[in-house]
Amino acid sequence: MTILPDKDAGDLRAAARREVQRGRDFVDEADPEALVTVTVASVALLAAFVGFLAVSSLTAIPFVVFLIASGYGWFRHQELTARVLTLTTTVSTILILGLILVFIFVEAWPTVEYATVTVFGLPIPGLRLFIDTRWSPVSPPIRYSLVPMIHGTVLVTIIATAVAAPLGVAAALFLSEIAPRAVREVVKPGVEILAGIPSIVYGFIGFTILSPWASDQFSIVGQGTYLFVGVVVGLMALPTVVSVAEDALNSVPESMKSGSLALGTTDWQTMTSITLPAAFSGVSAAVLLGVGRAIGETMAATVMLRGSPGLTKPLYNVFYGNDTLTSLIAANYGDADGLQLSALFVAGVILFITVLFLSIGSQYIEARMRKKLGGAE
């Protein structure tokens, strides 16, 4: 049992030595002028980044130096400059993401601390946010419960998934296995165009057409229902589900399908017993990405919902709609300050963590599918 840790440590040390040796070889083989150029560009960009964080008026100077050094290196030493620029871009992306994480968590902490509840003598920060049901940022007692918005987000996401998952998988199956080439070349771009339509347009259509119709048909007081918000958001998530699910279905080896047909099965039997089961992981990842799209939708929900935080009665009543986490942020961010603003950051943290886990889960599922089908890991 003690051999594995030693072996892993040895592998890490060997990998570190290889990377160090690669760096030395790179420095020895590179043109000294090119090394100086990319070093100046990297140091200047780092200085500009630090100046930006420090809100310095001199930030533009190192950034101009970076542009000049990069331009010179691109014309004189293009390959090395391109490698450094791509590495710099990657590192910058990671740094920016890390700073965003730190910022939203720091901004969310005052409300988390304010909502501390003592249970059996042990203070639990933020617990009141999830056990209370009252959002009252103005009238005392001041409460910042996110339960009503989480409830609304869950209902909208469930309805959107019920719309996007079956329609998306069916459309992907049609495009991948059934549609003639000419039809596929027309339908697929049409589906992808849906992703390019601004979400405010979907919300406006829902607000001016679906919501008034629902008010008349179901005798609803006011506009905004979780049901039709979920339908609109499901249609918005449809292109994501179709695109990823089709890629998963296309990755199934043709030999598996041909072997099934050679045994006398029909095309439909092959699709349902071979293609879909083999691509199930990828199709599941497509649905998860669609769910993430639904959870993060803002403008459609903001336009169509009432914007009055509260729980529906009964809880499963989808013919009324109050607020979701995203619509809460969009509707209140401009006027909020103090603890209320911090509470909006808490809502952002919840959304971020939820979508992060969905994204990681979908990537894990896709990696399992590639491994299962013999693809690259």
Give the domains, in start order, of the chain with CATH numbers: 31-113 (no CATH), 146-376 (1.10.3720.10)
Residue 143 is given by DSSP the state E
pLDDT tens track, the chain, 377 positions? 444 455 556 666 777 777 666 766 666 666 777 778 888 888 888 888 888 888 888 888 988 988 898 888 888 878 888 888 888 888 888 888 888 899 999 999 999 898 888 888 888 888 888 888 888 887 778 888 888 889 988 898 899 889 988 998 888 888 888 888 888 888 888 888 887 888 888 888 888 888 788 777 777 766 678 888 888 888 888 888 888 888 888 888 878 878 877 878 777 888 878 888 888 878 888 888 888 877 877 777 888 887 778 888 888 888 877 888 888 888 888 787 888 889 999 999 998 888 888 888 877 877 776 676 655 44
Q: Which residues contact 74 (CB under 8 A, 6 or more apart)?
A: 81, 82
In contact, 309 and 323? CB cutoff 8 Å? yes
Peptide bond into 141 cis (omega under 30): yes
Q: Which residues contact 186 (CB under 8 A, 6 or more apart)?
A: none
Strand partners, 136: 143
